[in-house]
Amino acid sequence: MEKLVLIDGNAIVHRAFHALPPLHAHKGMPTNAVYGFFAMVLKVINDLRPKYLVVTFDRAAPTFRQQMFVGYQAQRPKMKDELSTQFKLLHEILENAKFKIFEVDGYEADDMIGTISNQAKNLDVIILSGDRDLLQLVNGHVMMIAPIVGVTKMILFNKDKVVEKYGLDPEQIPDYKALVGDPSDNYPGVAGIGPKTASDLIKKFDSLENLYQRLSEVVPKIAEKLAIDAEQSALAKKLATIDVDAPIKFVLDQAKTDDIDEKSLLKNFKKLGFNSLINRFNLDKAPEITEISEEPGRKEEKKDADQMNLI
């Protein structure tokens, strides 16, 4: 089948910003996040040769999750000026080069990706993101690529890889997070339920709903904790679940990679001094998106997974 790449813009920009040392263009303009973003995107294009590509972004407006739970992501620090200016620069470059962009008030980039994946069932969909929450979308036609070392080394997750690494089916990830919560998004699960217990419970009962219907089969001490935080865990699952029916309509022909204006990109790369990226157009490289084989990659991957509380 033809390939569609969905890029989690916010996650990839943040990844690049923190993975690369400071870079500056003329007049001291910071550019490391923009450089890293395009380094990853061009690598994926060169390796996979997708026919279609979409970039998604969060917006500053409150999301439906913040309306459900006032503390959602409330602890996140204000974005640094040197990063926010790069978001503006990146948007300008992408728009000028005719990349297809999706962003909608009230929804996160994850929801754009989930909805487009759901509408593109006749394509092989590859998600590019460092956000492991998106692994819940992986299925027979959806895979995910995640950077694990800098902006060059990546790992490919299909359904078997998710099960191998986390011991859960992709669609069970929201059930798991309903029990453990998510510190990065600032919402709790069930007090006193840790990662191993949560994983064991979901493996045994398949879903949060089945677990609560069969509490009599759970060790009394754990069943009591579950009963006390029943409403909280139900809310956590809603917060963790990506919306695959956001109010957008994906038109395939509007996302062709052939329509990307390479001349515009090259002009901006030259202007910003991204000389190494200029040579990455139309290169026939062997795919490097593989499982981890080097020890530094293993440490980086474990760090990323730890942030999701899945190991």
Q: What are the extents of the domains in the chain? A: 3-167+243-284, 170-240
Q: Does residue 306 surpass a pLDDT of 90? A: no
What secondary structure does DSSP assign to the chain, as a single string? Answer: --EEEEEEHHHHHHHHHHHS---B-GGG-B-HHHHHHHHHHHHHHHHH--SEEEEE---SSPPHHHHH-TTTTTTPPPPPHHHHHHHHHHHHHHHHTT-EEE--TT--HHHHHHHHHHH-TTSEEEEE-S-GGGGGG-SSSEEEEEEEETTTEEEEE-HHHHHHHHSS-GGGHHHHHHHH-BTTTTB--STT--HHHHHHHHHHHSSHHHHHHTGGGS-HHHHHHHHHTHHHHHHHHHHHSPPS--S----GGGGBGGGS-HHHHHHHHHHHT-HHHHTTTT--PPP-B----SHHHHHHHHHHHHHHT--
Share of the chain above pLDDT 70, in %: 90
Phi and psi at residue 273, to the nearest 5°: 80, 25
Summarize pLDDT for 67-88 with one digit per residue, the tens: 999 999 988 888 889 999 999 9
Q: pLDDT category, 148, cuts 50, 70, 90?
A: confident
| 183-194 mean pLDDT | 95
Residue 288: what pLDDT? 45
Task: Flag the least confident range among 63-67, 149-153, 210-214.
Answer: 149-153
Q: Residue 298: is its pLDDT beyond 90?
A: no
Interval 271-289: pLDDT, tens: 999 988 887 765 334 344 4
Contacts by 99-102 with C-beta closer than 8 Å and gap 24+?
99/53, 99/54, 99/55, 99/260, 100/53, 100/54, 100/55, 100/254, 100/255, 101/9, 101/54, 101/55, 101/56, 101/57, 102/54, 102/55, 102/56, 102/57, 102/248, 102/250
- Mean local confidence (pLDDT), 26-53: 92
- Dihedral angle at the C-alpha atoms of 71, 73, 78, 82, nearest 10 degrees? -170
> By the 8 A CB rule, do 82 and 28 touch?
no
Q: What is the pLDDT at residue 285?
A: 40
Cα angle 240-291-299, degrees, rounded to a multiple of 5: 75
Among 156-160, 197-201, 289-293, the range scoring the smallest mean pLDDT is 289-293
Provide CATH code, domain 170-240: 1.10.150.20
Instruction: Kindly report which listed range (38-42, 77-81, 94-98, 187-191) carries the lowest average pLDDT score.
Output: 77-81
User: Which residue has better confidence, 260 or 282?
Assistant: 260
The mean pLDDT value for 236-248 works out to 96
Q: Is the pLDDT of residue 28 over 70?
A: yes
| Domain spanning 3-167+243-284, CATH architecture | 3-Layer(aba) Sandwich (3.40)
Report pLDDT for 207.
Answer: 97
Long-range contacts of 262-271 (CB under 8 A, 24+ apart): 262/97, 264/93, 264/96, 264/97, 264/98, 265/38, 265/93, 265/97, 268/93, 268/96, 268/97, 269/38, 271/25, 271/26
pLDDT tens string 103-142: 999 999 999 999 999 999 899 999 999 999 999 999 999 9
Four-residue CA torsion sign, 209, 212, 214, 218: positive
Confidence check: pLDDT of 251 > 70? yes
Of 73-77, 184-188, 249-253, 257-261, minimum mean pLDDT range: 73-77
